[in-house]
Amino acid sequence: MNTAWALIILPAVTGLCSLFIDSERLRKNLLVVVAFLHLYMSLQLCNGSAGELDGVWLGVDHLTRIFLTLTSLLFTGSAVYSMIYLDKHPHADGADLAGWQFLRNRNAIFVACMQLFLAAMSLAILSMHFGLQWIGIEATTLASTPLIYYHRNRRSLEAAWKYMIICSVGIALALMGVFFLAKTTTQHVQLFTPAGLVLFAGYLKLGWLKVAFIFFLVGYGTKMGLAPMHTWLPDAHSEAPSPVSAMLSGALLNCAFLGILRIYQVCVAIPATAAFASELLIIAGLVSMGFSGIFIMHQPDYKRMLAYSSVEHMGILATGIGLGGSAIAGALLHAICHSLIKAPMFLLAGNILSAFNTKKVEEVSGLLKSMPFTGMLWLAGFLAITGTPPFGTFISEFAILKAALQTRSWTTAGLYLLFLLIVFIGMLTIVMQMTLGRRPDDHADEHHHHNPAAKDHEQKHEKHHKHDAASAVSGSVIDEDLLQIMTPVIFLSLALILGFYLPEYVRQAINGGALLLGGAIL
Amino acid sequence: MNSIATLLALSCIFLLGSSRLLMSIRMVAFQGLLLGILPLAAAGDGHLSLALIFLSLASIALKSILLPWLLNKAMVDSGTRREIEPFISFGASMLLGLFLLAVSGWIVDKLQATEPVPSPVTLIAGFYLVFSGLLLLITRRKALTQTLGFLVLENGVFTAGLSLGSEFSVMVELGILLDVFVGIFLMGIMLFHIDREFDHLDADRFNELSDLEIAASPDEEVAE
Amino acid sequence: MISIHSVVFFILTLLLAPILPGVINKVKAFFGGKMGPPVLQLYYDIAKLMRKSATYSQTSSLVTRLAPVVIFFSTLGAGLFVPSFFREASCRFAGDVVLMAYLLGIGRFFMVIAAMDRGSAFEGMGASREVLYSALAEPAFFCGLLVLINETGDLSLSGIFNGLSLELWRQNPAIMLLIAVSWMIVLLTENARIPVDDPNTHLELTMIHEVMILDYSSKDLGLIEYASALKLWLFSSLLVGLIISAGAVPPYLHIPVFLFGILAVAVVIGCVESTIARLRLIHIPKFIVGSGALAIIALILKIAGN
């Protein structure tokens, strides 16, 4: 019990404290320490060695195990990566408590909000009470908005504003869903948890439950990035600093997904609503996959490409859950694999961005030659995210397809395959252009010729930027920091391992989660 | 309770037709006040608890004093006085508002067919506030009005919740209130930043990010 | 169906109608600190106009000549269904509310096409505004009627207004108040009063009703002026019927109370015209749609309350 609360309170408190910490070094170290502490405690909690929870407010079930571990793991990776990231973006002014200067120090805010973000996500995942869960998910929006606005320029401001407005509206609608859900039962709020409502499944009022599910799907679906409510996602993901994008895509979307899973858990307990909810989820999922397929084609910005890929994968998750049966276990596995792959992809995108200083696909080429490690990993990540065989995504996507074929939903299966193919082709053209091709130095001259501002541009930059940009242009192999590469390597290997071998711990959690959602074991 | 719901709906119609930001902010503050009284009216004389009164007061303080003050400050600082040329003219958005009012009535009627609704008029008002909030968000150009639209939507959600009589414990209610408050507060801070960066509050001129092309203005560094 | 009784009251209505504009003008003159024209001024005007012979523009067609007669008789026809003096109207049948509204509509239609017939740019503008505003006002009027129909269970105007009682005001004050305010706005709109239209304006650009009858003279103008006064009377009597419910007044007081009510409406209009400025044209649709909103809210309250 105490561990669960500690998981939420610890990062919240340290997050607030780091606003007031003067030393940049101390702040960064605190971030990493908290990350590892959080990871350790969540593993403890998920192993069941931390004692049982009463489950009225917070609880641990198999779904929690999956998503909490995943979130904590990704956060640790992002925190380590942030160390380097913050080194590259120093903030000159120290914290000055008297003049409220610390509120202008973007690095202090970054570190603080990262930890608050972690606290909010932990709350969203651990809470069983629907009202508390809503508070957690709304808090994730609030904590992550300053992170998106890290760069303090117009583009990030625009992205942050869109993110804030669209997600807040979505989550407000989800709150309406929570109110409707409370109406389904005459029992008092003591049992306002998925397990509690399932207990009274026979007595629930179906009309209200259906209305509540629609509001949950639209509300949390906005946050999860289901089309057509996904419009904030590409902007926010492409403008946020890379470690934040990794968290947004790998962890935050999962939190919102869990919000939908919680009410789905109640819906499947009753046959009438189960069919209704499944149908809506499949439609939402396929629409999202279709949307991302359209926008990923000829996407000029590689971070946006990754963002649309996230929309696609959220669509796959929704479709998988909607199909039921063994597809649910597949979808849960897919959620794990997606997070483990998408987060390193965003970190790698950060490496590319800091080296080439552009987000345009057309200005990046020859990655394999200029940044061998990043280039290799980028290619591997592409193969992984599109579900190519050795990776875990293949297993999960195949499980979902199998379920679609088994239930004879031919249209779903057909569209599912078609959209997967479109996304594969779309990403293939982009990634190939970036990794292969000539080195940047081969056309450095014409680059200068076409863009006379480039020279001034470089001069304006700070020292490190100048160094990176210069090395990119001169064609030498760009330095790649060990920490920059380590996190992606670890995550991608985990995703690779999941393709061959499912550890007993993961298998149990996935099967347990699938049973909660009315599915079959893997 | 019905008369409060009526006033809420009327204030919405006014908001949809008003071009003066100051009046709109005041109208939203008025809505916050009504919303604060609503739970007291819903509870009736016999069931007034201390927690309920505290929640009401907190809600009134936040929604009808603090947030309007913040928005008012943002408005004065940015020098914006009125909403100019929304995407749909004010008369048309009022007409659309009437249509939405009818739609809200229809939805609640449908709901009533399946499950009994304790207070249909208030629920209609709740739905209507949500719809008008969305309408304001979609059709207005100024970021400030969009914030107001979000507040109206949020008010609608609370009205609907009250009409359903779904109460949680005080802690959860406070948490929800806190979240909403911090949300609007952040929006308010961002309004200042938008005004400083863009020299205007026109959200429709946010066009740096789009899928069609990356608008990389020459003076803008691509930061990373 | 038609009793002598109701015919007498109908004739009384026709006789008294032109007094309303006179009362309004008196009130406005009082606010302006002036003597103002006599209350019976419109009678003198009509009498004078009826003696004169008409002139027509060469570009006008038969429509221009026909319109005043149609306007006059359609308004007269509508008057047959409107109950006055808390009594039955001359004619009644289930659904006559629609006939009454559309008889007035025919009058408006002829007014508009006659305005367009003469090909003046100003008159066309007035016509377009007239059509827009009355189209906006119509839903408000009918929503209010729907509530009353729902309340009394009768589909004829006479049945509705005789079915009203003070009990309604006691039970649902909000609903009745909303309808009353909404109908007041409809009345101001339909009869081209401030703040929608200014009957005394001198600038064609801002006129609505007046600009459409600029080209009329003599008998035609007399008929139209009379029809306008009658229309004002009809709407006022509906409003009086709504506010002072028929059931609340003992039969021997019907005539004095009704006359008092209708004069009160005229005085209120006069006060409104003296204190409020005319709205800018772009704000008028909002004003009228607002009345529709009131009526729809009343309707929702009524339906949800059942």
The residue with greater pLDDT, A223 or C87, is A223
The DSSP result for A332-389, as a single string, is: HHHHHHHHHHHHHHHHHHHHHHHHH---BGGG---HHHHSHHHHHHHHHHHHHHTT-T
Cβ neighbours of C136 in B, within 8 Å: 95
Using one digit for the tens of pLDDT, what is the confidence trace for C73-129? 999 999 999 988 888 888 888 888 899 999 999 999 999 999 998 888 888 888 999
Cβ neighbours of B216 in A, within 8 Å: 360
Cα R_g (chain A), whole angstroms: 22
Q: Which chain B residue lies closest to C297 (C-alpha atoms)?
A: B6
Cα R_g (chain C), whole angstroms: 19
- For the record, the structure tokens of A447 come out as 């680059």
CB-based contact, B91 to chain C, within 8 Å: yes
- Of A312-326, B148-162, B206-220, C179-193, the range with the lowest mean pLDDT is B206-220
Question: Please, what is the average pLDDT of chain B?
Answer: 82
- Residue from B132, B173, B179 to probe the interface with A (highest A Cβ count within 10 Å): B179
pLDDT value, residue B127: 93
Cβ neighbours of C289 in B, within 8 Å: 13, 17, 91, 94-95, 97-98
Token pair 């869903």: residue: A177
Q: Which chain B residue lies closest to A356 (C-alpha atoms)?
A: B224
Chains C and A touch (3+ CB pairs under 8 A): no
- Residue from B8, B19, B93, B95 to probe the interface with C (highest C Cβ count within 10 Å): B95
pLDDT value, residue A103: 65
pLDDT value, residue C75: 94
pLDDT tier at A476, thresholds 50, 70, 90? low
Question: Please, what is the average pLDDT of chain A?
Answer: 84
Using one digit for the tens of pLDDT, what is the confidence trace for B20-41? 888 889 999 999 999 888 888 8
Using one digit for the tens of pLDDT, what is the confidence trace for A124-178? 999 988 888 999 999 999 999 999 988 888 888 889 998 999 999 999 999 999 9
When pLDDT is averaged across residues B62-76 and rounded to a whole number, the result is 88
Q: How far is A116 from chain B (nearest CA, A)?
A: 13
Contact A189 B182 (CB under 8 A): no
- Number of separate helices (H) and strands (E) present in chain C: 13, 0
pLDDT tier at C3, thresholds 50, 70, 90? confident
Mapping DSSP to helix (H, G, I), strand (E, B) and coil, where does residue A301 land? Answer: strand
Contact A299 B179 (CB under 8 A): no
Size of interface B-C (CB pairs under 8 A): 59
User: Phi and psi for A127 in degrees, rounded to 5?
Assistant: -75, 140
B window 160-219, beta carbon within 8 A of A: 160-161, 164-169, 172, 175-176, 179-180, 182-183, 186-187, 190, 193-194, 197-198, 203, 206, 208-209, 211, 213-214, 216, 218
Cβ neighbours of C282 in B, within 8 Å: 89-91
Contact B98 C294 (CB under 8 A): no
pLDDT tier at B45, thresholds 50, 70, 90? low
- The answer to whether residue B222 scores a pLDDT higher than 70 is no
Contacts of A30 (CB under 8 A, 6+ apart): A14, A17, A18, A21, A111
Burial profile C95-119: b = 16 or more Cβ within 10 angstroms, e = fewer: ebbebbbebbebbbbbbbebbebbe
Q: How far is B137 from chain A (nearest CA, A)?
A: 9
> Are the beta carbons of A489 and A80 closer than 8 angstroms?
no
Contact B121 C301 (CB under 8 A): yes
Size of interface A-B (CB pairs under 8 A): 144
Alpha carbon distance B43, B48 (integer Å): 6
Contact B90 C297 (CB under 8 A): no
pLDDT value, residue C114: 92
- Of A83-87, C9-13, C17-21, the range with the lowest mean pLDDT is A83-87
Cβ neighbours of B9 in C, within 8 Å: 293, 297
CB-based contact, C35 to chain B, within 8 Å: no
Using one digit for the tens of pLDDT, what is the confidence trace for C197-210? 888 877 777 788 88
C window 110-169, beta carbon within 8 A of B: 136, 139
pLDDT tier at A187, thresholds 50, 70, 90? low
Q: Which chain B residue lies closest to A307 (C-alpha atoms)?
A: B211
pLDDT value, residue A414: 92
Which of C286, C300, C305 has its CB closest to that of B91?
C286
B window 85-114, beta carbon within 8 A of A: 111, 114
Contact B224 A175 (CB under 8 A): no
- The answer to whether residue C238 scores a pLDDT higher than 80 is yes
- Residue from C289, C291, C299 to probe the interface with B (highest B Cβ count within 10 Å): C289
pLDDT value, residue B211: 59
CB-based contact, B90 to chain C, within 8 Å: yes
- Of A334-338, B14-18, B48-52, B146-150, the range with the lowest mean pLDDT is B48-52
CB-based contact, B42 to chain A, within 8 Å: no
Question: Please, what is the average pLDDT of chain C?
Answer: 89
- The answer to whether residue A466 scores a pLDDT higher than 80 is no
Q: How far apart, in Å, are the Cα atoms of B203 and each of A165, A403, A452, B87, B197?
A: 11, 45, 32, 12, 12
Alpha carbon distance A272, A29 (integer Å): 52
CB-based contact, B98 to chain C, within 8 Å: yes
Which of C136, C285, C301 has its CB closest to that of B6?
C301
Q: What percent of chain A has pLDDT over 70?
A: 87
A58 beta partners: A127
Q: C169 exposed, middle or buried (CB, 10 Å; 0-12, 13-18, 19+)?
A: middle
Which of C178, C296, C304 has its CB closest to that of B102?
C296
Cβ neighbours of C304 in B, within 8 Å: 105, 108, 120-121, 124
B window 113-152, beta carbon within 8 A of A: 114-115, 126, 130, 133-134, 137, 143, 146, 150
> Are the beta carbons of C220 and C54 closer than 8 angstroms?
yes
Contacts of C45 (CB under 8 A, 6+ apart): C222, C225
Q: Which chain A residue lies closest to B198 (C-alpha atoms)?
A: A154
Contact C174 B90 (CB under 8 A): no
Alpha carbon distance C219, A490 (integer Å): 97
CB-based contact, C285 to chain B, within 8 Å: yes
Using one digit for the tens of pLDDT, what is the confidence trace for A289-319? 999 999 888 888 889 999 999 999 999 999 9
Alpha carbon distance C9, A365 (integer Å): 94
Using one digit for the tens of pLDDT, what is the confidence trace for A392-403? 899 899 999 999
Q: B158 exposed, middle or buried (CB, 10 Å; 0-12, 13-18, 19+)?
A: buried
pLDDT value, residue C253: 86
Using one digit for the tens of pLDDT, what is the confidence trace for A406-439? 988 889 999 999 999 999 999 998 998 888 876 6
CB-based contact, B9 to chain C, within 8 Å: yes
pLDDT tier at A188, thresholds 50, 70, 90? low
Contact B157 A164 (CB under 8 A): no
> Are the beta carbons of C240 and C258 closer than 8 angstroms?
yes
pLDDT value, residue A446: 45
CB-based contact, B3 to chain C, within 8 Å: yes
The ipTM value here is 0.89
CB-based contact, B101 to chain C, within 8 Å: yes
- Residue from B1, B2, B27 to probe the interface with C (highest C Cβ count within 10 Å): B2
Assessment of whether the complete model's pTM goes beyond 0.90: no
- The answer to whether residue A111 scores a pLDDT higher than 70 is yes
Among A253, A279, A273, A287, smallest CA distance to A197 is for A273
Contact B98 C303 (CB under 8 A): no
Please count the CA atoms within 13 angstroms of the CA of A235 that sit on its side-chain side: 27
Q: Which chain B residue lies closest to A127 (C-alpha atoms)?
A: B172
pLDDT value, residue C183: 94
CB count within 10 Å of CB C281 equals 14
Question: H/E element holding A233?
Answer: helix A232-239
Angle at the Cα of C63 (from C57 to C66), degrees rounded to 5? Answer: 100
Alpha carbon distance A209, A467 (integer Å): 59
